[in-house]
Amino acid sequence: MHPKINHLIQLQELSLIRAEQKAHRHGHRLDELDASIADLTSQLSTDVQSLLVRMQKRDSIIIVPMTNGACTACGMRLPTSHAQQVKVSDQLQVCPICTRLLYFEEGLPRNVGKAQRRSEPRKVGIARFSSPGLMIPRLKATTRDEAIRELATKMQDEGFVDDAGKLVDSALKREAIVSTALDHSMAFPHVRGVEGGGLTLGLGVSAKGIKFDGHDKGPTKIVFFMVIPTAASAFYLKLLAGLAETFSDADARKALSAEETPEKMWKTLIKLTKKTIL
């Protein structure tokens, strides 16, 4: 693997976190993120820097994992010899179709959710990414880590991911960079860079509230837990903006929190996000 791959992955993660903060219309620690991004960028060779500038003009996804010999951004299956190069070469490798940088990493958490059957009616809105089985109206968790574990375990139990433990580790690493707790007692913990499948969302409500970050944001009561393939990162930002818009309204939060069964909470979530998540 090229020695700069980890560096580039970290840089992309920070840029995406910055975009997340902006999607919330929320300037939380933007200056600090900008400084880290500038610092990491300055450590790259001028060649790689100008490559990044060119790529970032198109979109925020510059580097993606290769899974089963295919680019996870565009789906292009690489010739065997090229796939091998991605695994072993110390040169940066790009996808021949979408020209994003590719990397290979073993042991990523896997999304194993079933594809929708053709006979089923086409799903729209938030129903595409979640299911009643991923709703937890009364979280048992009393801490941030427990809440993330409870939601990740639910995802594994419902057959969406293969390894809840890996998800918890990755989500906590992400929390360590900048907390995903926001105003209106909501938090958006997530894991990016999972292999396969699509974006998946679980939702938990804690009536009492959970202390989610080190700052004094007040207790978090609504926890959206998301698992995001790198290629869906740009879409994830739209989803995030939609959820933030819907649930900045106190009545919407109240309606969601009042539901006592997963099925009812699911129906309310769909109803409330009909206009913000298309």
Please report, as ranges, the residues that interact with Zn ion according to CB under 5 A.
Answer: 71, 73-74, 76, 95, 97-98
Q: Of the two residues 98 and 177, which places its CB atom closer to Zn ion in the complex?
A: 98
Q: Of the two residues 53 and 97, which places its CB atom closer to Zn ion in the complex?
A: 97
d(CA 25, CA 20): 9
Contacting residues for 102 by C-beta, under 8 A, at least 6 apart:
63, 64, 65, 66, 71, 78, 86, 93, 94, 95
CB of 78 to Zn ion, least distance (A): 9
Q: What is the residue type of 46?
A: T
Q: Of the two residues 74 and 241, which places its CB atom closer to Zn ion in the complex?
A: 74
Identify the CA nearest to 36 among candidates 178, 141, 160: 178
Dig out the tokens for 84 from the structure: 């091998």
CB of 192 to Zn ion, least distance (A): 17
CB of 76 to Zn ion, least distance (A): 5
CB of 161 to Zn ion, least distance (A): 24
Q: Of the two residues 1 and 74, which places its CB atom closer to Zn ion in the complex?
A: 74
Q: Of the two residues 18 and 192, which places its CB atom closer to Zn ion in the complex?
A: 192
Q: Of the two residues 96 and 159, which places its CB atom closer to Zn ion in the complex?
A: 96
CB of 224 to Zn ion, least distance (A): 29
Q: What is the DSSP string of 133-187?
A: GGEESS----BHHHHHHHHHHHHHHTTSBS-HHHHHHHHHHHHHHS--EETTTEE
- First-last CA distance in the chain: 39
- Residue 65, H or E segment: strand 63-67
d(CA 76, CA 96): 8
Q: Of the two residues 94 and 177, which places its CB atom closer to Zn ion in the complex?
A: 94
d(CA 212, CA 209): 9
CA 90 to chain centre: 28
CB of 231 to Zn ion, least distance (A): 9
CB of 61 to Zn ion, least distance (A): 10
d(CA 187, CA 184): 9
